[in-house]
Amino acid sequence: MKKILLSLMAVSLFTNMVFAGGSITIAGSTTVLPIAQVTSEVFMDNNPGIDISVRGGGSSVGIASLIAGTCDIGDASRAIKDKEIAKAVDNGIQPKAHVVAMDGIAVIVHPSNGINKISKKDLKSIFTGKISDWSQVGGSGGKIVVMSRDSASGTYEAFMGLALDGSKTRSDSLLQASNQAVASVVSRTPGAIGYVGLGYVTSQVKSIPVNGIECTKATVLSGEYPLSRPLFMYTNGEPEGVVKEYMDFVKSAEGQKLAEEQGFVGLK
């Protein structure tokens, strides 16, 4: 019996030593989730012994867990609020923001569509159901077929926040399961309008400027384009140790390339 106990202790000591590389807990925004997942997978492959666990939950959950000290990195698709900063300071936490990528959402129509620009106001009217015909926004007439993403997706959430000011999308909008599906259906439906991450705009669809500003990498990075926003990872003070190593990796050219593969706009 003693022998078993002893060997168990030895094993547990040994495993502790193996994982002494450290562990990171990440929680928060479902929009940032894919970036966190992909970068942490590659980071763990490159640094065996470091263990990263990634959870979703939403931006508020991410910041709340950082304040509560239950995660090392809190993901958020919005900036931290004053109230949250006050609460963090009370808890002895100094949230530091790191922009890890930009989210840019392009508005796309069928290439044959005569419309060449749209205002943010008309865009909102179309997606909330106030406008249903192309002639009402300067097009050549015909029913507008509204393509949206599934209501659980990060792109939907971003679009609802940036373009619709939090209003509901019309109930007869066609919900597609992926950015590719939206682009593919819009490219085959003359009366369609949809939105996709900038990385998914193809030559088979027409991306139209919103409020006169075209959706390009440059306008998204400068924040000029109306449907763009920065995506954050928050740490407690300046990151140190493994957290710093990971944050440096996310901001490196390789990390930014991984973010772009997920449909975001990289900073480099």
Partner 1 sequence: MIDAIKFRNYKENTYKWIFTILAFSSLVFLVGIIIVLFKEGLPIFKEVNLFKFLFGKSWYPTYDPPEFGIFPLMLASFWVMIGATIVCVPLGIGSALYLHELASFKQRAFLKPLIEMLAGVPSIVYGFFGMVIVAPFIQKLFNIPVGLSLFTASMILGIMAVPTVCSITEDALSYVPKSFREASFAVGANRWQTLTKVIIPAAGSGISTAIILGMSRIVGETMTVLMVSGGAAIIPKSIFDPVRPMTATIAAEMGECAMGSKHFHALFAIGLILFLVTLFFNIIAEIISRRYRLKLGLGR
Which stretch, 82-90, 154-162, 221-229, 241-249, contacts partner 1 (CB under 8 A)?
154-162
User: Is residue 262 a contact residue for partner 1 (CB under 8 A)?
Assistant: no
User: Is residue 130 a contact residue for partner 1 (CB under 8 A)?
Assistant: no
CB of 156 to partner 1, least distance (A): 8
**Residues 162-201 close enough to bind partner 1 by CB under 8 A:** 166, 168, 171-177, 181, 184-185, 188-189, 191-192
Q: Both ends of the chain: CA-CA distance in Å?
A: 59
Of 166 and 212, nearer to partner 1 (C-beta) is 166
Q: For the chain, how many residues are written?
A: 268
User: Is residue 30 a contact residue for partner 1 (CB under 8 A)?
Assistant: yes
Pairing mode of beta strands 95-109, 192-197: antiparallel
Amino acid letter, 189: T
Q: Which helix (H) or strand (E) holds 149?
A: strand 145-149
Q: Where are the alpha helices (DSSP H) in the chain?
A: 2-18, 33-46, 59-68, 82-90, 120-128, 154-162, 179-188, 217-222, 241-251, 253-261
Instruction: Calculate the CA 210 to chain-centre distance.
Output: 20
**Residues 74-93 close enough to bind partner 1 by CB under 8 A:** none
**Residues 219-238 close enough to bind partner 1 by CB under 8 A:** none
- Which residues of this chain interact with partner 1, rule CB under 8 A? 30, 56-58, 142-145, 150-154, 156-157, 166, 168, 171-177, 181, 184-185, 188-189, 191-192
